[in-house]
């Protein structure tokens, strides 16, 4: 395996180049998700610019016909170890067309140990997403999961790999807990005090914060992929097909088909499980801050985008005796981009980030 694959691009995929358009402030946020990669930057008019790339790829037969077809379609691909690989969103579309599973550089919230091509593909995806630094030693904060409580996994290797990857791309890389990103993005009006929950594809990440400082952080090894795998199993379909069904527009308040009922069932189980684990941590953890006022619980992440999500959360929450007063349970206005925005907040506030160029 090499971390420098030979690269060909379709007609709509230009090689990496310096960003054009408005002048950007130094500092970037990067959401390293199992299902999606997102970057967040800010210009000097304080507009936040988000880029999204599905964190997936698929290998296809390498021949002149396929190469010409992809070039005409403007689809980005790479030649890696004598294989033609389509990356990002087109890979997901092709997987559904050919009834195949996409390959994932990441699994369960971390770099996949089962994918030999994971690192070079991830490097390419992130390079295309971030572009070059706008200034020397530009700071990028990248999200990392907390240690999961229900799965034997250590984030040290994952964290180190992405730190090295970003450093080789010219950035000063700093990690930030995924749940902490949600706090920075969504709880500014509450003095960054409350509970931020990132509902990802591989994990749910929870951060209990008091005045910006994480008092408790943990993850559960169940996320959107857990739903997809279980739905696929009971329906006898591919997991990528279950993902497509879920993203098509299901409303958990009104499942209309057998497929939607299966999605609803596993969503409710995942929400119930997550809330129960948060309750248990509050009851058993030492040195938990005493919150003087009721706090908010804010959900974000792609898995929370489904219709009726927050209604189901509130319904399940009402059935339990939570150990502290909760003011409001809500979802981020833009749940998919919340983590990247929170990482950007951290980067912009970092004293080591250059102020101008």
Q: Which of 231, 251, 248, 250 is nearest to 239 (CA)?
A: 231
Mean pLDDT in residue range 116-122? 88
Residue 70 located in a structural domain: yes
> Is residue 3 over pLDDT 50?
no
- Which tens digits make up the pLDDT trace of 150-199? 888 878 999 999 999 999 999 999 999 999 999 999 999 999 999 999 99
Q: What is the pTM of this model?
A: 0.89
Q: Which of 189, 51, 179, 178 is nearest to 126 (CA)?
A: 51
Q: DSSP H helical segments within 171-223, as ranges?
A: 178-186
- Which tens digits make up the pLDDT trace of 244-265? 888 888 999 999 999 999 999 9
> Is residue 17 over pLDDT 50?
no
Domain that holds residue 237: 6-16+25-349
> Is residue 228 over pLDDT 70?
yes
Q: Report the domain count for the chain.
A: 1
pLDDT at 96: 79
The answer to whether 54 and 89 are in contact (CB under 8 A) is yes
Residue 160 located in a structural domain: yes
Residue 1 located in a structural domain: no
Residue 355 located in a structural domain: no
Q: What is the dihedral of CA 230, 53, 150, 207, to 10 degrees?
A: -130
pLDDT at 20: 62
The answer to whether 101 and 240 are in contact (CB under 8 A) is yes
Q: DSSP H helical segments within the chain, as ranges?
A: 64-73, 89-97, 118-130, 156-168, 178-186, 224-235, 239-247, 258-284, 309-317, 338-349
Residue 64 located in a structural domain: yes
> Is residue 13 over pLDDT 70?
no
Average pLDDT, the chain: 90
Pairing of strands 213-220, 204-210: antiparallel
Residue 292 located in a structural domain: yes
Question: Which CATH number belongs to the domain containing residue 75 in this structure?
Answer: 3.30.420.40
pLDDT at 357: 59
Residue 258 located in a structural domain: yes
> Is residue 12 over pLDDT 60?
no
Average the pLDDT over each of 62-66, 181-185, 190-194, 286-290 and give the range with the smallest value.
Answer: 286-290
> Is residue 2 over pLDDT 80?
no
- Which tens digits make up the pLDDT trace of 300-352? 999 999 999 999 999 999 999 999 999 999 999 999 999 999 999 999 999 99
- pLDDT > 70 in the chain, percent: 94
> Is residue 21 over pLDDT 80?
no
- Which tens digits make up the pLDDT trace of 335-349? 999 999 999 999 999
């Amino acid at each position: 395996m090499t971390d420098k694959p030979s690269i060909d691009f379709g007609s709509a995929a230009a090689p990496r180049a310096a960003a054009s358009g408005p002048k950007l402030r130094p500092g970037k946020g990067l959401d390293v998700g199992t299902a999606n990669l997102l970057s967040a930057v800010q210009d000097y008019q304080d507009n936040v610019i988000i880029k999204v790339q599905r964190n997936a790829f698929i290998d296809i037969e390498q021949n002149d016909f396929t190469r010409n077809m992809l070039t005409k379609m403007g689809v980005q691909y790479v030649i890696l170890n004598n294989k033609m690989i389509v990356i990002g969103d087109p890979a997901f579309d092709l997987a559904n067309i050919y009834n195949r599973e996409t390959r994932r550089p990441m699994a369960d919230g971390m770099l996949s140990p089962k994918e030999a091509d994971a690192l070079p593909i991830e490097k390419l995806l992130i390079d295309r997403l971030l572009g070059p630094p706008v200034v020397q030693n530009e700071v990028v904060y990248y999200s990392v999961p907390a240690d999961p409580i229900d799965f034997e996994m250590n984030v040290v290797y994952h964290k180190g790999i992405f730190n090295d990857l970003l450093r080789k791309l010219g950035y000063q890389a700093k990690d930030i807990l995924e749940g902490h990103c949600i706090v920075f993005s969504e709880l500014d009006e509450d003095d960054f005090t409350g509970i931020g929950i990132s509902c990802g594809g591989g994990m749910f990440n929870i951060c209990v914060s008091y005045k910006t400082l994480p008092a408790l952080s943990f993850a559960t090894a169940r996320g959107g992929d857990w739903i997809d795998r279980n739905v696929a199993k009971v329906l006898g379909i591919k997991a990528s097909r279950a993902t497509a069904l879920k993203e098509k527009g299901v409303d958990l308040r009104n499942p209309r088909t057998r497929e939607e009922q299966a999605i609803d069932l596993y969503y409710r189980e995942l929400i119930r499980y997550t809330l129960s684990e948060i309750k248990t941590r509050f009851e058993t953890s030492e040195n938990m801050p005493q919150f003087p006022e009721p706090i908010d619980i804010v959900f974000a992440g792609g898995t929370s985008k489904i219709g009726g999500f927050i209604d189901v959360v509130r319904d399940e929450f009402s059935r339990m005796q939570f150990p502290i007063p909760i003011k409001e349970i809500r979802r981020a206005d833009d749940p998919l981009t919340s983590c990247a925005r929170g990482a950007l907040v951290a980067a912009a506030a970092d004293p080591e980030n250059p102020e101008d160029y």
